[in-house]
A and B are shown apart, each in its own frame.
Chain A
Amino acid sequence: MMTLYGLVLLPLLGAAVAWLTGRASPRAPWPVAVATLVLLAALLAYITWAVPAGGGPWLAHVSAPWIPALGITLRCDMDGLSLVLLWLTVVLSFPCVLLASRDIADTPGTFHALLLATIAGVDGVFIATDLFLFFFFWELMLVPLYVLITVWGHEDRTRAAFKFFLFTQGSGLLMLLSILGLVFVHQHQTGILTFDYFALATTHLSPVLAMGLMLGFFVAFAVKLPVVPLHVWLPDTHTQAPTAASVLLAGVLLKTGGYGLIRFVVLLFPDAAARFAPVALALGALGILYGAWLSLVQDDIKRLIAYSSVSHLGFVLLGVFSASPLGMTGAVVQMVAHGLSTGALFVIAGALQDRLHTRDMRRMGGLWPALPHLSSVGLVFAIASLGLPGLGNFVGEFLVLLATWRISPPIAILGAAGLVLSALYALTMVGRAFLGPPPGDGWPALPDFGVRHMAVLGAAMALLLVLGLYPQPVLDLSLPAPLPHSALPWGPRP
């Protein structure tokens, strides 16, 4: 299905148009970006609709030669997992563009072009099944985002962007080494030089080699997810990034880490991943507790949300390495729900910064009467973030914890303790920002959220509610497709 390429080409085309029109008029790029996103959504809807019924776990496939001499092809495949995450990307791109990027005054053409290029890269990551192509997209989403942060970020942007770049790039190089190692081992065994995911999955690896290669992939994705000792780029980057980039980063880019863990760690190296699972589970529990703990003591509201992301994505790590369909689907639901809730929280934090010119919660308080709409929306998403049953986050967390309990009750108990801490930081945030007495002699008149914000965030809320109460379609889709010749870690597909 050639339309899969469209998922990448369309945003790139939109980026080019946005950049070109931006040179003519500063008002032109925004409509171009919106139009691109609408077209992208339509394209994805078409792809979803065109999926043949009962056609097996892989829903779409496309391949074309790229660099035949090195066995590199433009191979893309889409399964349910990809589809769910693609939808998440498209859905979250809307708040980015509709709410955050409209007010960019400084070269908006370039801004929107970079934003769309990042989206193209993310789309590519979710469908590429040629490892070289995957790596290409992996870098493609990194560079524009780096520029977005360095140019349009807040006060300490250079340092934050540099840190972000170093961490992602450094770990990406480790992944490249692993990819090359795998390719060469495969060539040594079969005499065929190929980067094809499905071909490489048949490579026989000694346990030590498999562990080494798996760790290369793991580190790259662990940095992105992020997993706790490697998370340090995230708070700085989220804090300093412009709102649109924060939303995109938290909502979508972190998910590429989770996706990579599923697709390229657990499925490609099932045995090594199983041996590594105890460590990964411990890291996941550590991430949940550590992120929540640090989230609690932050004064900067964006930093608080960033650390809460660290905590939430610890659940994803738990789910992925619980080696069960329960945990895997739970991890995917958690990713989707986290994307929606945290993306919305970043929109709100960005709006607060626009209005108050500070992110410091010590200088907020009592905003509810001044900004009733913004505050109530903030409360709703804070509550979603603390995992209230009936909203999407709970489904993900519960499934992950259930899967974890089956293999290790103590880790699951630690995860459940993380839920207490999440209530603590979410309510602390609400309390410090929105409730209580206003500082000094009250707030001056502040512009509240208008119809545009309420509509977009309301839609996010509705999606979270649907995901929380009727997650079955996502659950059915989100189990990753198995490789044809090797079983899933938990045996045959149920």
Chain B
Amino acid sequence: MLALLPPLIVLCPLAAATILLLSAGRMPPPAARVLAAGAVGLAAALTLWLAVLFLSAPPPTYRLDVVLWHWMRVGGFDARIAFTLDPLSLVMMLVVTGVGFLIHLYACGYMRGDPDVARFFACMTLFVAAMLVLVLSSDLLCLYIGWEGVGLCSYLLIGFWYAEAANGAAARKAFIVTRIGDAALLCGLLLLATRIGGLDIATLLQPGHLGGGPVAEAAAALLLGGALAKSAQVPFQVWLPDAMAGPTPVSALIHAATMVTAGVYLIARLHPLFLAAPTVMAATAVLGLVTLLLAAGSALAQTDIKRILAFSTISQLGYMFLALGTGAWGAAIFHLVTHAIFKALLFMAAGAVILRVHHQQDIFRMGGLGRAMPGVFAAFAAGAAALAGLPLVTAGFYSKEAILQQAWHAAPLLWAGALLGAFLTALYISRCLLIVFLGPVRTAPTGRTEASMAIPLAGLSVLALTGGLIEMPNAIAPVHLLFRLLAPVLGPPTAEDAEGGAGLLLAGALAPLAGIAVAWGLWRPRAGAIAPADDGLARGARAGWGFDAIYGLLLVRPFLALGWLNRRDLFDRVPDLLAAATRWGARLLGRMQDGRVRRYAGWIAAGTVAALCLAVRP
């Protein structure tokens, strides 16, 4: 039974996607909605059942391998389509199907007016299936199917409203930038497959199989490249803010809760490999820190509510990479889970706001919305509190605390940076909350938020506030449900995880409070117009610190310009040259044949004389 469930869970959304695709837009929208939400809901229910079965009677060594079929077996290389069920994949499945189901439910309301809803849900369910393949695969090449599959769905959904040229460009950018990382990942897979002869994760991670040294470093670096691009970390972060061109449920599902965390999952899944590569680990931590600070700074200067959340996502993913870089695998996964909950909540609340204010996304044109939509306000506030890490009462606090403590033990400098990040996080999300929901009304909202949208908001609000209780620092209460669950995969919680100084805890609790206080000072509701800061620093931050401009100037434009110059194909000129030479020679020789008899006679005479000379010469 246990072995049957994972493929079945993947099959649910996959079947829905197939039906929706084959119906080719002829399915009535209500049926499409029911089919999609039903399929993902069924997958979620089955996953829950699977979790109950798994936890009540765990298989030995806490892992269950389901080999479906041999994919390629040639020349000593063997790849399989195979799933592994273990605590890590179980947690990921719960996130993907659980949050995924709520977002599908929400999308039923959000996309009500759209004529192309079947295509939308086809891509969404296909995405869920691909994401499930990604987290379940026991073979890296099989994982790569899911890895690219989610990228494809992300492309299709960012460009869902294709009539707008900018959306297509954003979708393309997202796919291409992540594809660069995918190419690095593929190279990593090639390296590993050459060394090991296969890409089975369990074989790969057997101690002593790969060893340390330059090979491990190179492999880890290449895999890290893939993870960085997928998870929008420096230097690949440029695609995620633009990806907000997609419908809001897409941003919630793909660009907040699941796909972007695939990089985190990959590294956690392959953590023994990264442990053998300390340089790469250090790079991971540093890049994570840099990302979280840069993105938090950018989020502080944005005016578009979805872009604020996008930069916030990049920043929070930076926390996870920081955790991974310091070896805190459990903390990274913990933050992944809580982040999936509260960021999906924030996006959906933002989407509800956007729908009510006529697709206005500029926060400076909103204001005072708290009175008109108290439910959405409450949900957004719950999500914002969790994101800021309001002490004790939110999930974000506990997961961020776990990362901060680990960072302190790895290097105090990392901890200091992360603490600054926590302060900035509280600052920017409070800014957003204060400007959007309090103060004078600038755009009058209309309509009501549908029940199908309100229910997921309510559910996720509860989770965002209480979800952290499964894992607490010892200083508060010795609850370690998640880390214990994950221990068979990620190793037992280290001593530092358990220890946790009260001082550190206090510092971690004060930083968000300070951020909220400063935000209140700066953006508390007052009469009169408010405008975004517009000095050089703010402009730089708003533009994402100019990465786009630099890449455009250094990479994209020269590449395209050179291509444009060579559009007619240099090599094509070579035969043309040959043809020209032939034509020229022919013209030269043809001049002899001008029809003048006397010249012919002259040539004949000259030729005869020459022939005679040759014949007479001994």
Contact = CB atoms under 8 A, between A and B. Distances in A.
Interface of A: 163, 167, 228-229, 231-232, 235, 293-294, 296-298, 324-326, 329, 366, 368-369, 372-373, 376, 383, 388-390, 395, 398-399, 401-403, 405-406, 409, 412-413, 416-417, 419-420, 423-424, 427-428, 431, 434-437, 469-472, 475-476, 479, 494
Given A297-B564, A423-B176, A389 B72 contact: no
Contacts of B144: 389
B297 interface: no
Interface string B181-206: 01110110011011000000000000
Contacts of B81: 469
Contacts of A326: 74-77
The prevalent SS among residues of A at the interface is helix
25 contacts: A167-B575, A232-B569, A235-B572, A293-B559, A294-B566, A325-B74, A326-B75, A326-B76, A329-B75, A366-B163, A389-B145, A395-B72, A398-B141, A402-B190, A402-B194, A405-B190, A409-B190, A409-B191, A416-B186, A419-B182, A431-B159, A435-B163, A436-B163, A472-B72, A494-B75
B563 A297 contact: yes
Contacts of B75: 324-326, 329, 403, 494
Interface in B58-82: 69-77, 81
A324 B75 CA distance: 8
A405 B194 contact: yes
Q: Which 8 A-B pairs have the closest CB atoms?
A: A326-B75, A325-B75, A435-B162, A297-B563, A405-B190, A389-B145, A436-B165, A232-B572
A403 B171 CA distance: 33
Given A420-B183, A469-B71, A470-B71, A389 B191 contact: no
A398 B140 CA distance: 13
Contacts of B246: none
- Chain B interface residue number, banded: 35 or more
B559 to A, nearest CB: 8
Nearest to A232: B572
B540 to A, nearest CB: 28
B480 interface: no
Interface in B175-229: 175-176, 179-180, 182-184, 186-187, 190-191, 193-194
A494 B73 CA distance: 12
Nearest to B149: A390
Nearest to B21: A376
A297 B563 CA distance: 6
B224 to A, nearest CB: 16
Contact of A419 (B73, B162, B183, B191): B183
Contacts of B458: none
Contact of A427 (B77, B162, B176): B176
Contacts of A431: 159, 168-169, 172
B566 A417 contact: no
Nearest to B165: A436
A329 B24 contact: no
Contacts of B569: 232, 235, 294
Nearest to B572: A232
A335 to B, nearest CB: 15
Contacts of B165: 435-437
A472 B179 contact: no
B74 A399 contact: yes
A368 B165 CA distance: 13
B596 interface: no
Given A423-B175, A428-B172, A388 B152 contact: yes
B375 interface: no
A369 B119 CA distance: 13
Contact of B24 (A228, A376, A399, A469): A376
Contacts of B149: 388-390
A231 to B, nearest CB: 7
Nearest to A424: B176
Interface of B: 24-25, 69-77, 81, 141, 144-145, 147-149, 152, 155, 159, 162-165, 168-169, 171-172, 175-176, 179-180, 182-184, 186-187, 190-191, 193-194, 559-560, 563-564, 566-567, 569, 571-572, 574-575
A412 B192 CA distance: 13
A229 B572 CA distance: 9
B162 A329 contact: no
A373 B24 contact: yes
A326 to B, nearest CB: 4
Contact of A417 (B147, B183, B575): B183
Given A389-B148, A398-B141, A431-B172, A420 B190 contact: no
Contact of A416 (B74, B163, B169, B183): B183
Contacts of B564: 297
A235 B570 CA distance: 13
A298 B567 contact: yes
B179 A420 contact: yes
Contacts of A434: 162
A153 B8 CA distance: 51
Contacts of B183: 416-417, 419-420
B571 A420 contact: no
Nearest to A167: B575
A171 to B, nearest CB: 12
B571 A293 contact: no
A424 B178 CA distance: 12
B159 A435 contact: yes
A368 B159 CA distance: 12
A139 B587 CA distance: 32
Contacts of A471: 71-72
B193 A472 contact: no
B194 to A, nearest CB: 5
Given A297-B563, A427-B155, 18 more contacts: A229-B571, A297-B566, A326-B74, A326-B75, A369-B163, A389-B144, A401-B190, A405-B193, A412-B190, A416-B184, A419-B179, A420-B179, A436-B164, A437-B164, A469-B81, A470-B71, A472-B70, A494-B76
Nearest to A475: B74
A386 to B, nearest CB: 8
A402 B193 contact: yes
Contacts of B155: 427
Nearest to A431: B168
A290 B560 CA distance: 13
A469 B133 CA distance: 13
A308 B604 CA distance: 56
Nearest to B70: A472
Contacts of A423: 175-176, 179
Interface centre among B69, B70, B179, B559 (most CB of A within 10 A): B179
A236 to B, nearest CB: 8
Nearest to A422: B179
Contacts of A479: 74
B298 to A, nearest CB: 26
Nearest to A389: B145
A373 B567 CA distance: 31
Given A424-B176, A427-B155, A437-B163, A475 B72 contact: yes
B71 A402 contact: no
Contacts of A398: 72, 141, 186
Contact of A413 (B73, B175, B187): B187
Given A298-B567, A395-B72, A437-B163, A427 B575 contact: no
Nearest to A427: B172
A94 B579 CA distance: 38
Contacts of A294: 563, 566-567, 569
A250 to B, nearest CB: 18
Nearest to B562: A293
Contacts of A436: 162-165, 168
B194 A232 contact: no
A427 B141 contact: no
A412 B571 contact: no
B233 to A, nearest CB: 18
A172 to B, nearest CB: 16
A434 B172 CA distance: 13
B560 A297 contact: yes
